[in-house]
Amino acid sequence: MKSQAPSGILIVDKPENLTSASVVKRIKKFPEVKKTGHTGTLDPLATGVLLCPINQATRLSRFFLHGWKTYDALMVLGAETDTQDAAGTITRSLQVPPLDAAAIETAVKEFEGEISQIPPAYSALKHKGRPLYEYARNGQPVYKPARPVTIERIAITRVDLPEISLSIRCSSGTYIRTLCADIGHALGCGGHLKALRRTESSGFTIADARQLDEHEDLAAQGRLSESLIPMSKALGKIPAHIADKALTERIKYGKIIYLHEIDCIAETDYLKVLDPDENLLAVLYRGERGHPDRFDYCCVFHHA
């Protein structure tokens, strides 16, 4: 019998000057990869943690799309660009005034908490089926309405004017280049993002990541599984239940699973069911209104 292609989460340390889509395109060429994607775009300028679910794990993408992110950012004061980062064209230059540490700290801390952010015109957000950057490149920028994002923490790690280094923890959907442009505006001299590194995404850090070339080498040697975080471990915060043979069979055939059948339920919306070898059999969620006594199926997995 032909062995089943491995499934799990590939954690890539994305290199600079490569789009997230290009990373996915390269991963699709790995011998055992049938399906993949990513769970949060990084701009070409940026490096760092990019989560790429592989094969059956693509069905788990929803659990990583809205996770918290942490970034190391380098911003430059005194120049605004059309893309809000160093990849763009300078549209305005201003003198950087004398700024002491207290003034910078005060301006930066104003952006902590829930804020409204206007997505940049040069972004992959869609308008009438086309990404915004296509309109912007054609001289017809489209601006989406401001939307709420949450900045849990901004820490200033270095000041060497006109450059300021920041460590930022934020909600999914936050544009760090927009944040830098807004901080520059608040300081009265404009600014843009010069360099960005994502150091954490949905609980996975740079320490968990490998360079794309390393993943390619392992895949070429038939060792893709060594690169993957197993599906059951990737969902580390979801409570687990080890299924016996009877429950395994019921899940296999899509039978209804009642809450009273699971003896270790925590107060959680989701439950992962594992076999004795800790392979992920299914992710269940508490029944919708009208079925509070049972689980519904989020996704079911098959193992050779």
**Contacts for 287 with CB less than 8 Å, ≥ 6 apart:** 293, 294, 295, 296
Which tokens belong to 38?
A: 């990513």
- The one-letter amino acid code at 67 reads G
Residues 165, 72 contacting (CB under 8 angstroms): yes
C-alpha span between 147 and 125 (Å, rounded): 13
Beta partners for residue 12, in sequence order: 50, 210
C-alpha span between 232 and 17 (Å, rounded): 33
Phi, psi of 160 (to 5 degrees): -145, 75
- From 13, 43, 82, 275, active-site residue: 43
85 DSSP assignment: B
Residue ranges of the alpha helices (H) in 9-119? 20-27, 101-109
C-alpha span between 33 and 224 (Å, rounded): 9
C-alpha span between 177 and 285 (Å, rounded): 37
Q: Which residue has the tokens 């990513």?
A: 38
> Is 43 part of the annotated catalytic residue set?
yes
**Contacts for 50 with CB less than 8 Å, ≥ 6 apart:** 11, 12, 13, 14, 20, 23, 38, 40, 42, 198, 201
- Among all residues, which ones are annotated catalytic? 43
